[in-house]
Structure 1
Amino acid sequence: MKKSFDVVVIGTGEAGSAVATRCQAAGRNVAIVDSRPYGGTCGLRGCDPKKVLVGAAEIIDRKRRMEGRGVAGDVRIDWPELIRFKSTFTDPFPQQTEELFVKEGVETFHGRARFRDERSIEVGKDVLDGDHLVVAAGAWPRKLGIPGEEHLTRSDQFLDLQELPRRIVFVGGGYIAFEFGHIAARAGATVTILQRGDRPLKRFDPDLVARLLQRTHDVGIDVRTHTKVTGIEGAPGNFRVTAATDSGSEVFEADMVVHAAGRAPEMDDLDLSSAGVEFDRHGIRVNDHLQSVSNPAVYAAGDAANSGGLPETPLAQYEGGIVADNLLDSNQHTADYRGMASVVYSIPALGAVGMSEQEARAKGLNFDVKQADTSGWYSARRVAEPASMYKVLIEKGSGRILGAHLLGPEADEFANVFALAIRSDIRADALRQTLFVYPTQASNMAWMV
């Protein structure tokens, strides 16, 4: 069946949902398509369910840190029960999401989308014509090109495990490896992380990463750098992971092997070339308005767009809003990526906001670096957290906050304060004079800037 719409959106995550609901509310006739359960990565396969598991792991870790400091007794993670609790968040979400679209008048479709030409897509037996089409299909584990990669467990599959394997190897040293690895270790698994390069978590400050690595080692996680996985063989419960190292070849045995080597835009089967849409491995090539540089009828947002933004949920939602505004207002809006924050939900959390030292120097900026190990500060000592540090970049003369790098208790919430400061151009002097609630992490800010 052939149907025509003002806007056709591919993907029901944060970016696609923002476009569809805002355009429909403005009187446009909108369709939305997804091949998987409605709701996107964050609500179903990423941020939200992951943070439920992190919360349980934090309880275990905090209890262990506080032993001998007034806390006693046994506590453990009941993995099947934890997954059942996680499912109370994820199981209702697809239906709730689709019902919201229907209530607002967005027409919903299920199936793989494929472009037929510059202004239409095919979904099963339906052909959807659109004055504009928006690709917000999210990301998927990137192909590694190694023998046996079909044995890899994806992060979404990990989140649905009914039993936690005893030995887990993570291929790659990014967000997934450190977040899920820290969870699994607190739940009793033996965890190994294999990183092909010289250090993991390359988006983050190397000094803070080094301290997190030490903390990671202290909880029993084996992190190997310069270790390139060359093959996986076996079956669940009996895998052999072969890796090339500086000293030769090494074999790691595991009950499960998890893909943690990065994600790529999920668009291989969209047939973008049929629509004349240019793209590369980072996504659809877009201009400042998030419009395809080669097909003005097509826009992209979130992981699908090669926009220069971080692969973060708030950014996807923000870009979805920018696309909606441009569809409704003839390309009058551009994205502002200042003060983007990113957090690894390891234990403790690792955060970054704004520029790194390398980026600030590359721009020729003149700045001071304020940094300290804060494990002896009250905010870390009261919860017995030995890994607590910060590094803040402050422009000389202006007092402008260029970047903030945080490791320790509540680093995620603290990153929000610095994101606000950078995005709203709140200078160091103003932060020093702010009367924050004490004792909180934010009350440390006067000493940090």
Structure 2
Amino acid sequence: MTKEFDLIVIGAGTGGNGVARMAAAAGWTVASLDALPYGGTCALRGCDPKKMLIAVTEGAEWSHNMAGKGLEAQVSVNWPDMMAFKRTFTDAMPPRIEAGLKKAGITTLHGTARFTGPDTIEINGDTLRARHFHIATGARPMTLNIPGEAHLITSTDFLELPERPDRIVFVGGGFIAMEFAHISKRAGAAEVTVLEMMDRPLGNFDPDLVAMLVEATTELGIDLQTTAKVLEIRKSGSAFEVDYETPSGRQTVACDLVVHATGRVPNIEDLNLEAAGVDYSRRGIKVSAYMRTTNPAIFAAGDCADSGPNLTPVSANEGRIAGKNLLAGKDERAVSYPPIPSVVFTLPNLAMVGLSEAAAQEKGLDFETRFETTSGWYSSMRVGAKWSGYKILVEKGSGKILGAHLIGPGAEEQINLFAMAIKAGLTANQIKGLIFAYPSYASDIGSMV
């Protein structure tokens, strides 16, 4: 017998759960399903558990920076205990989230969904029909198509490692590679290597600040190789060998673990979207500004859609818009993206919001660049931070902030204030006129603009 619902949400993460709750609150019959434990990537396999680990390594960094300044401590990271600490959060989330959905009157199902028609899916051998669908299946690691690819572990696997390997290679030089490399080295790994095929890591971030992070990364003891294209991964006894090409020729690095960190792609290949009349590309499911797909009864949001940046709060915002249009029965609200901050949670943090210098130049904007290293500023000296600085783009004439780029302690919170300033259209002089609590990281902002 075919079960029928008003709405079926595929994906129980940030981009899906809000939509399910909105519809259930409106009296709709709703089913939520996921092939993985409820909670999505951010809560279980990404942002949140990663920062739990970073919190532990911050203790090691603090001890290092304060050595000789009055703090006497012998600090080391116990990997199994650190992972157990992470699980105090991640283990509790799936049952908590699923229980909350059930309490809201939502039917929860586990399994891989596959469309069999424009209004039907199959899951675990059962057929479900719905008036509407919302897809929020997120992203997965991209396929590299290199020999030995099966030897790679994913970032999800890394976050579950029971013990820390001594020699780790990260393939890629983006968020995952840089953050996990910093975690690994501060946790005591003897050899940590990052292989990035471009001429610098973190290509979307300001090159001058990335150069500072590269120096900090190298000083930490991480071997960061750029213009290094991975060619093959081979098993060698209980270890691995990774071959990669550089301008100086073919190189090989031996390790105990190889981590896939080259990026992610929309997780949509198992959905059989053709049967649903839903168009998609390599960038994801095609959606309108109202988050509606090419099948008017189906919406999509988050990393599986060809929409905004692949960030958790973006997914939540897109889901909210999709939910409102679902309930309205028409395209009532278009998604709008405010200035969106992005942070690399290495130590030091690297953050950005708004335009880069290159983007501002491409737009033909007339602006000033205010760039300074700030290791001599009080806020950095107080915590023994060697690597800190900023680059702020200020439009000539209007004085408005076009972009903000930060590195160092406090950057992850300072960047949010810059996002608010850009959204509000505040000028540099207006920011200088604000009075923040002092001394604080926020109180430095007036001196940056």
Q: TM-score range by the shorter chain?
A: over 0.9
The corresponding residue for 1:345 is: 345
Question: For 1:236 and 1:118, how far apart are their aligned partners in 2?
Answer: 50
The corresponding residue for 1:381 is: 381
Question: For 1:250 and 1:172, how far apart are their aligned partners in 2?
Answer: 16
How far 1:423 moved relative to its partner?
Answer: 2.2
How far 1:337 moved relative to its partner?
Answer: 1.5
The corresponding residue for 2:219 is: 218
Q: Structure 1 counterpart of 2:351, which letter?
A: G
Structure 1 residue 287 corresponds to structure 2 residue 324: no
Structure 1 residue 320 corresponds to structure 2 residue 319: yes
Instruction: Label 1:66 to 1:359 Cα distance change in 2 as closer, same or farther (>3 A).
Output: same
How far 1:399 moved relative to its partner?
Answer: 2.2
Structure 2 counterparts to residues 46-445 of structure 1, below 5 A: 46-189=46-189, 190-234=191-235, 237-292=238-293, 294-307=294-307, 309-329=308-328, 330-445=330-445
Q: Deviations over 1:367-413 (max 9, x none)?
A: 22111111111111111111101111122222222211110002111
Q: Structure 2 counterpart of 1:191, which letter?
A: V
Structure 2 counterparts to residues 7-22 of structure 1, below 5 A: 7-22=7-22
How far 1:28 moved relative to its partner?
Answer: 2.0
How far 1:236 moved relative to its partner?
Answer: 8.0
Conservation of the 8 A alpha-carbon contact between 1:286 and 1:300: yes
Which aligned runs of 4 or more in structure 1 are off by greater than 4 angstroms?
none
Question: For 1:31 and 1:24, how far apart are their aligned partners in 2?
Answer: 9
Instruction: Label 1:399 to 1:29 Cα distance change in 2 as closer, same or farther (>3 A).
Output: farther
Question: For 2:413 and 2:230, how far apart are their aligned partners in 1?
Answer: 35
| Number of residues of Structure 1 aligned to a counterpart in Structure 2 | 447
Q: Structure 1 counterpart of 2:323, which letter?
A: A
Q: Structure 2 counterpart of 1:301, which letter?
A: A
Specify every segment of 5 or more residues in structure 1 that has no aligned partner in the other structure, as ranges.
Answer: none
Is the partner of 2:347 in helix, strand or coil? coil
Structure 1 residue 31 corresponds to structure 2 residue 31: yes
Q: Deviations over 1:13-41 (max 9, x none)?
A: 11111111122112222111100011101
Give the TM-score, by structure 2 length. 0.97
Q: Deviations over 1:310-355 (max 9, x none)?
A: 2111111111111111112221111222210111110111111111
Question: For 1:297 and 1:63, how far apart are their aligned partners in 2?
Answer: 56
Question: For 1:276 and 1:360, how far apart are their aligned partners in 2?
Answer: 39
Conservation of the 8 A alpha-carbon contact between 1:237 and 1:256: no
Q: Structure 1 counterpart of 2:285, which letter?
A: I
How far 1:237 moved relative to its partner?
Answer: 4.1
Q: Structure 1 counterpart of 2:251, which letter?
A: E
Conservation of the 8 A alpha-carbon contact between 2:231 and 2:245: yes
Question: For 2:237 and 2:386, how far apart are their aligned partners in 1?
Answer: 36
Is the partner of 1:75 in helix, strand or coil? coil
Question: For 2:161 and 2:313, how far apart are their aligned partners in 1?
Answer: 27
Q: Structure 1 counterpart of 2:315, which letter?
A: A
Question: For 1:117 and 1:220, how far apart are their aligned partners in 2?
Answer: 54
Question: For 1:6 and 1:152, how far apart are their aligned partners in 2?
Answer: 41
How far 1:235 moved relative to its partner?
Answer: 5.9
Is the partner of 2:413 in helix, strand or coil? helix
Is the partner of 1:24 in helix, strand or coil? helix
Q: Structure 2 counterpart of 1:338, which letter?
A: P
Q: Structure 1 counterpart of 2:360, which letter?
A: A
Question: For 2:142 and 2:37, how far apart are their aligned partners in 1?
Answer: 21
Is the partner of 1:370 in helix, strand or coil? strand
Question: For 2:414 and 2:158, how far apart are their aligned partners in 1?
Answer: 29
Is the partner of 2:278 in helix, strand or coil? coil
Q: Structure 2 counterpart of 1:147, which letter?
A: P
Conservation of the 8 A alpha-carbon contact between 1:151 and 1:235: no
Question: For 2:421 and 2:332, how far apart are their aligned partners in 1?
Answer: 26
Question: For 1:336 and 1:392, how far apart are their aligned partners in 2?
Answer: 24
Q: Deviations over 1:70-89 (max 9, x none)?
A: 11220110110111111110
Question: For 2:409 and 2:80, how far apart are their aligned partners in 1?
Answer: 27
Conservation of the 8 A alpha-carbon contact between 1:142 and 1:262: yes
Conservation of the 8 A alpha-carbon contact between 2:38 and 2:93: yes
Is the partner of 1:183 in helix, strand or coil? helix
Give the TM-score, by structure 1 length. 0.97
Question: For 1:235 and 1:84, how far apart are their aligned partners in 2?
Answer: 31
Conservation of the 8 A alpha-carbon contact between 1:2 and 1:128: yes
Identity of aligned residues (%): 48
Q: Structure 1 counterpart of 2:250, which letter?
A: S
Question: For 2:237 and 2:201, how far apart are their aligned partners in 1?
Answer: 26
Q: Structure 2 counterpart of 1:365, which letter?
A: L
Conservation of the 8 A alpha-carbon contact between 1:24 and 1:106: yes
Instruction: Label 1:25 to 1:429 Cα distance change in 2 as closer, same or farther (>3 A).
Output: farther
Question: For 2:237 and 2:182, how far apart are their aligned partners in 1?
Answer: 21
Q: Structure 1 counterpart of 2:376, which letter?
A: G
How far 1:437 moved relative to its partner?
Answer: 0.5
Conservation of the 8 A alpha-carbon contact between 1:5 and 1:30: yes
Is the partner of 1:306 in helix, strand or coil? coil
Question: For 1:241 and 1:388, how far apart are their aligned partners in 2?
Answer: 34
Q: RMSD over aligned Cα, in angstroms? A: 1.2
Is the partner of 1:314 in helix, strand or coil? helix
Conservation of the 8 A alpha-carbon contact between 2:414 and 2:445: no
Conservation of the 8 A alpha-carbon contact between 1:200 and 1:225: yes
Q: Structure 2 counterpart of 1:231, which letter?
A: E
